[in-house]
Structure 1
Amino acid sequence: MTGQNPTHDHHDVHDDDHEHHDHDHETHDDHGHADGHHHHGIGGHSHAPVSFGRAFAIGMALNTIYILAEVFYGVAAHSLALLADAGHNLGDVVGLGGAWLAASLIRRHPTSRYTYGWGAASILAALGNAVLLLVVTGGIGWEAIRRLIAPEPAAGTTIMAVSAVGIVVNGATALLFAAGRKGDLNIKGAFMHMAADAVLAFGVVVAGGLILLTGWQWIDPAVSLVVSMAIVAGTWSLLRDSVNLSLNAVPPGIEQAAVQSFLDGLPGVTEVHDLHIWGLATTETALTAHLVLVDGADHESLLRWLPGALNERFKIGHCTVQLESFETARICALRPAHVV
């Protein structure tokens, strides 16, 4: 990471002297310093996300086999609920594939072209999962309404048996991602897809049982419609968070005001401006800020301590801080925003 000695009029465009201080983020410690060298920069990085490759492989395999069974028995039993669940599962398999790809890309090192790496792929995958879930569920809802108007006979016993298997398959797959759902929006998307399928399968079992008890064929599409609406409601948070991250909003769980207050309270810091916080990936948060220091402040100690403190307190693992004197801060304030 790069910052500035308070005596220099220096912004984010570095001069030749500061170029010599550039460092490889993969080979430096969390404080962004190499032993034996004086740096004006700081940096902090969180550990690489836990790999869920095995979970993705198992989940995709189980659900692909189950989809084939659902399509076969759905056609044989004339069950919209089974066919709808099969379509839903197909969307989830595609979503799992995209999430798996993104989880692999996020671990790739930055390049000269993709200087932040491929972490944003996980944000796109989470957004794609949310949109796909809504589109597939919308299709199920539309067909359910059509079947409510013109009910078709369905075999309740077959529906119950196949869907009971679906509860086990989807529930087990969801459990594979449960451990990572709170720390990674991409993994949360995979978990929600599988959990939603388990709920939908349970609804189909209920529909099959009610059809056997009452003979009312409209129960099959009615249950599909109710479960679809529940899934849409549950998907809202995933859609909202992924859209926000794609727009460089402050990630969930971090309050910019709290970070501002923390930086304002640092020893020797009299002003904080140009503070930006955004997600580099679903598992990594970045920060940039300008700190105005009083004359004689121990900026070197601040640079060495701050990255670890931001990582520990706010889970911000990638930070760029520019240190400024009062004079530099005034010049910085007069420049157009796009120059800073």
Structure 2
Amino acid sequence: MTNTPAAGEHEHGDDHDHDHEAHAGHDHDNDHSGHNHGGHDHSHGGHSHHHHHAPVQGQGRAFALAVTLNILIVVVQAVYGVLAHSTALLADAGHNLSDVLGLLLAWGAIWLTARRPSARYTFGFGSSSILASLANAGLLLFACGVIVAEAINRLLNPAPVAGFDVFVVATIGMIVNGFSAWLFMRGQEKDLNVRGAFMHMAADAAISGAVAVSGLVILGTGWTWLDPVMSIVVVAVIVYGTWGLLRDSIRLALDAVPPGVDLQRIRSFLAQQPGVTDVHDLHVWALSTTGNALTAHVVMPAGHPGDAAVDGMVIALRERFEMHHATLQVDLGTSDHHCTLDRPPRSH
């Protein structure tokens, strides 16, 4: 899962968010859940904390149509998987269900990033997409375990498989997934959410094609063992994709540096700015599956460089490093600063 901006990201010239201070001796607890700094606050007005345009024209309809079609194919595959005694169809139904959840997550992420923050949820609601990814991954892995258990049982206790039914239903799934992939071709170059949806649908079309071929082989040879073997292959594909989703979701939930973000490059960039002699209390985390946040203290012994200079750093952080919410604090360097998170824990 890549943490990058959604399509149509604003590149505001004056809509950015930063607090910069020129006084020493204030509290440096830089926990991003709530900064408590003294001194003077130079926050600009007009900040709405969301930097995403509305979805591309027609994108909402594409998601709605793809979700509807995939829900229908999940129901058909699940029903015929039971009737035809095909664990491969059931596995493919599980895979398509995972893509329905993925589509809903991508669609929901676009909607959530447009929600304004509130007095209680000051960072907005984007992090709910991270929680949804965790739930999605957990449910998928559980479903995979059930499918594998059933496939092993079918290998030990073979049952007749309706190869023709498997072929027909899987072919329908291939067509539906191919059409769904076509729906997202237009927007995939500008929006990673849409690109992810396109890749999922295209991969599903290929998997459904493989299941259809297995149905034909069973029809011609009577190799019923091929069906549970194919279901295990499909599960392996699901687990391969889901494991990365689970790993990245856990990391984002724990406020780890998002994938694709080079913290050292950001530190070096800030340190090279005119008048900056040191950078500390640098924290980067994910606001959602599509947005990043940053806080940092920059030491400038000559004093505050003015709003325009700090604004330029904030804009550069957004454009070069995809930091959608950057908060910079200016220190004079007259006292020794240490991030409270780096201090050794107190003994109890």
Normalised TM-score (structure 1) = 0.81
For residues 245 and 147 of structure 1, do their structure 2 counterparts lie closer, same or farther at Cα, with a shift above 3 Å needed? same
Structure-1 residue corresponding to 2:52? 47
SS class of match (1:319): strand
1:140-161 CA distances to partner (integer Å, 9 max, x unpaired)? 2221111111111112122111
Structure-2 residue corresponding to 1:3? 19
Measure, in 1, the Cα distance between the counterparts of 2:38 and 2:71. Answer: 56
**Contact 1:106–1:121 at 8 Å: present in 2 too?**
no
For residues 176 and 129 of structure 1, do their structure 2 counterparts lie closer, same or farther at Cα, with a shift above 3 Å needed? farther
**Contact 1:284–1:317 at 8 Å: present in 2 too?**
yes
Q: Which runs of 5+ in 2 are unaligned?
A: 1-16, 28-34, 344-348
Quote how far apart the aligned CAs of 1:188 are: 6.7
For residues 298 and 68 of structure 1, do their structure 2 counterparts lie closer, same or farther at Cα, with a shift above 3 Å needed? closer
Measure, in 2, the Cα distance between the counterparts of 1:138 and 1:197. Answer: 20
Quote how far apart the aligned CAs of 1:337 are: 4.2
SS class of match (2:327): strand
1:238-278 CA distances to partner (integer Å, 9 max, x unpaired)? 22222211111111111001101111111100000000011
For residues 272 and 59 of structure 1, do their structure 2 counterparts lie closer, same or farther at Cα, with a shift above 3 Å needed? same
Structure-2 residue corresponding to 1:223? 230
Structure-1 residue corresponding to 2:36? 13
Quote how far apart the aligned CAs of 1:296 are: 5.0
For residues 188 and 235 of structure 1, do their structure 2 counterparts lie closer, same or farther at Cα, with a shift above 3 Å needed? farther
Quote how far apart the aligned CAs of 1:284 are: 1.1
Normalised TM-score (structure 2) = 0.80
For residues 264 and 117 of structure 1, do their structure 2 counterparts lie closer, same or farther at Cα, with a shift above 3 Å needed? same
1:21-62 CA distances to partner (integer Å, 9 max, x unpaired)? 563412xxxxxxxxxxxxxxxxx9643473643233112211
Q: Which has the larger helix fraction?
A: 1
Is the counterpart of residue 259 in structure 1 residue 266 in structure 2? Answer: yes
Q: Which runs of 5+ in 1 are unaligned?
A: 27-43
Q: Identical aligned pairs, as a percentage?
A: 46
SS class of match (2:176): helix
SS class of match (1:64): helix
SS class of match (2:299): strand
Amino acid aligned to 2:66 = G
For residues 174 and 135 of structure 1, do their structure 2 counterparts lie closer, same or farther at Cα, with a shift above 3 Å needed? farther
Amino acid aligned to 2:19 = G
Is the counterpart of residue 138 in structure 1 residue 161 in structure 2? Answer: no
Structure-1 residue corresponding to 2:157? 150
Amino acid aligned to 2:76 = A
**Contact 2:89–2:211 at 8 Å: present in 1 too?**
yes
Structure-2 residue corresponding to 1:39? none
**Contact 2:52–2:114 at 8 Å: present in 1 too?**
no
Is the counterpart of residue 127 in structure 1 residue 134 in structure 2? Answer: yes
1:172-215 CA distances to partner (integer Å, 9 max, x unpaired)? 3244456459955x667655654453343122112112212321
SS class of match (1:269): coil
